[in-house]
Structure formats: structure tokens, C-alpha cells
Structure 1
Amino acid sequence: MKIRIELTYQTPKGIETSFNSEWLHAEKALSIVEDFDKTGRMKHVTFIDNHETTWTLKEIKKQMEEIQTEPHNVTVYFDGGFDLKTRKSGLGCVIYYEQNKKSWRLRKNALVEELKTNNEAEYAAFHLGLQELEYLGVHHLAVTFVGDSQVVINQLMEEWPCYEEELTNWADRIENHLNQLGIEAEYELVPRKKNKEADQLASQALREIEITGTIEIK
């Protein structure tokens, strides 16, 4: 969850001024406001989310307490590979998230045969990650999706046009799924070397090595 802070502050001499913050993760915004509050000179504060809904300090604290029991601060890495010889595709996704004040990593891969290109495999890997988010119970949150596919990232960001029917269908399927879950997608394009985990999972799937598991990160 990302929010902005609108805050009024009064100096010891009674001079008032207002601040508007950039978009911040709710935890960080709450920490900043609590620090201001310790001065005893914060006169008024409002939190505003990306839907322009306003929250009081009491409301945002309650919301953050409730969020702690559900998956949050979610990042999904995805990668897909297509083997021209076997006509099979390997899909891989890695999901990092926090829940109950602990950090977790979920890994999942899949081998599929119905795809025709590497770009389709990349889209399918993204969708695999989205399915895992649904199984986790992730909903109505901002989620960062990280991949090394320029085609997928730029098309989903609507920076590039999508002319191929198969890819358009994948993009529509993903957008519909995101809307159903209430997920606000943020996209990050990275070099392949920064997407090693998802890439390895996709490669393992092509070798018919199935990986499914979740571990706590300490």
C-alpha cells in the first residue's frame, strides 16, 4: 500500500507550514509521521492513498496492524523460456513477501506445451506468478513485478503496442486477473543477471525438474 502524507507543522514560535510528501510505502509513511508526532508540534496530518481515499493517523495504524497478518510488501520475479527443439516452455516465478512480521520466499515453476514463442512463455510466467498471488490471498495491494522481458514489461506498461493476437490475449488475461484481485501492478525491467532465480526455475522446468516451496528468510 502506497500513500502520501499531508502534514501541518508548527514551530515553537507559532509559525505554521504544510508539507506534502512523495508516494511512500505505508510503513515508511507511518514511521515518518510518528517521528514528527514525537515533537509535539504536528498540528494536523492526513494520509491519502492512490484512490484519493483519506485516512487519519488512527485509521492507518489500525490498517497496518491488520495488514501484518496478511501477505504484504510483495515482489514477484518471473521468467519464461521456450525450447525450439521440444516446443515446450519452462516457466518460473519467485515471490518475496512479508507476513506476521516475517519474510518469506515462494518458488514455483511449470512445464507447458501449448505455447509457440518465447514471448508467450514470458507472459505465461507472469501469469503463473499472478496465480500464486491469488493462492496466497494477496489482494488490494500494490505489487511489484520484476522481469527481464522488454516485450512483456513494456506492453503491460502500455509503452509498446501489442500487435500479435496471442500476446494481446495474454495481456488482456493478466489485466483482468489484476483487476479481479484489486492488485495495483508496478513493473520493473531488469537485466537477466538480476533475474537469476526465476531464470533458473524456468530452465529447471524445461529439464522436467519441478520446484514448489516456501521458506522463511531470516
Structure 2
Amino acid sequence: MSNVLKVNIDGACQPNPGQGGIGAYFVINDKAESYSLPLDGIVTNNIAEYEALIFSLEKIISRNDVVDQVIVFSDSQLVCMQFNGKWKCKDDKLSLLLKKAKELKMKIDCKFQLTYIPREKNEIADELAKNAISYKIQYFLQEKKKKK
């Protein structure tokens, strides 16, 4: 029986470009962990999607799980196609993020797969990413009130 780590990721921003957040949902052996993190500054949706991939790769490396395979699911066709070499990346900022993601992937010592899934199959990661944006905006508004 193979040991598989499954990770659903999503990046979001509001508006586009705007405040960004990422979500990642890890499942291994029926145990789940979720992450919802705001991004610094103003980002585009594509940058947020790449940041979600980079975060998940860094987390996979740091977890030291003993697994035979890692499958990452993303609803970003752009990220999946560029990462898997099917589409060229022509944007300078995205190219840097793609390079970083590929470098991190090389540190994963098992079979690795990044797979595109439709948005409706990625609801948990989507909610985590949106919650990160909401949290960031609420925090900003609270800080603004304190300064008055």
C-alpha cells in the first residue's frame, strides 16, 4: 500500500490585482491540516496561485513525511501548465516564481505530480485563500481605527 500526500492549493486576490491570500489543504493517512495565509502587498491572482504552490512545496519539504508520492491539486491551469512545461512563461515576475517552484520540487525525494482540477473540486483550498484575504482586510481596518 503506497503512502500518498495529497495537497490542494489555491491563491486568490481581491480585486485583481489587490490584497492576496493563499490556502493549502494537506491530507495524509486520513489526517488533514489546513493553512490560510495572507500575502504581503498588492498581488495578481496568478502571483497568488504561484505563491500557494511555493508555500506548499516548502511545507512538504519541511514536514519530512515518509511518502511514496506527493500529488498537488490546483485550479490554476496557468500554473499547472507552466510548471509541467506545457506552456511557456512570458511574464518576468511569474518566471521567477516558476523557477523557485521548480527548484523546490527538486528537493522532494519521491514521485511528484502537479495536477489541474476544476474550481468546484477545490472548494476547501479556495475558502482558505479567501479567508486569508478577509483576515488581512479586517486586520488593516482594525489598525486604521486604532490610529484615529
Q: TM-score, normalised by structure 2?
A: 0.83
Kept in 2, the 8 Å contact 1:138–1:181? The answer is no
Tell me how far apart the structure 2 counterparts of residues 186 and 153 of structure 1 sit (CA, whole Å).
10
Tell me how far apart the structure 2 counterparts of residues 88 and 189 of structure 1 sit (CA, whole Å).
24
Per-residue displacement from partner, 1:147-204 (whole Å, max 9, x unpaired)? 1101000001111110111111111111111112324321221111100000000010
Tell me how far apart the structure 2 counterparts of residues 200 and 106 of structure 1 sit (CA, whole Å).
14
Per-residue displacement from partner, 1:79-101 (whole Å, max 9, x unpaired)? 00011288221100001112xxx
Alignment length (residue pairs): 136
RMSD over aligned Cα atoms? 2.0
Match of 1:87 in 2: 18
Match of 2:144 in 1: none
Q: In structure 2, the residue corresponding to 1:182 is in which secondary structure?
A: coil
Per-residue displacement from partner, 1:123-152 (whole Å, max 9, x unpaired)? 001111122212321367421110110100
Tell me how far apart the structure 1 counterparts of residues 47 and 16 of structure 2 sit (CA, whole Å).
16
Tell me how far apart the structure 2 counterparts of residues 75 and 137 of structure 1 sit (CA, whole Å).
14
Determine what percentage of the aligned residue pairs are the same residue: 23
**Structure with a larger share of its residues in helix:** 2
Matched, 1:156 2:87: no
Q: In structure 2, the residue corresponding to 1:135 is in which secondary structure?
A: helix
Q: In structure 1, the residue corresponding to 2:5 is in which secondary structure?
A: strand
Q: Structure 1: where are the runs of 5+ without partners?
A: 1-26, 29-71, 210-218
Q: How does 1:1-218 map to 2 (within 5 A)?
A: 27=1, 72-84=3-15, 87-98=18-29, 103-138=30-65, 141-208=68-135
Counterparts in 2 of 1:84 and 1:185: CA distance versus 1, 3 Å: same
Per-residue displacement from partner, 1:52-72 (whole Å, max 9, x unpaired)? xxxxxxxxxxxxxxxxxxxx4
Q: Structure 2: where are the runs of 5+ without partners?
A: 137-148
Tell me how far apart the structure 1 counterparts of residues 42 and 78 of structure 2 sit (CA, whole Å).
16
Larger radius of gyration: 1
Q: Which residue identity is paired with 1:179?
A: M
Q: In structure 1, the residue corresponding to 2:101 is in which secondary structure?
A: helix
Tell me how far apart the structure 2 counterparts of residues 197 and 140 of structure 1 sit (CA, whole Å).
23
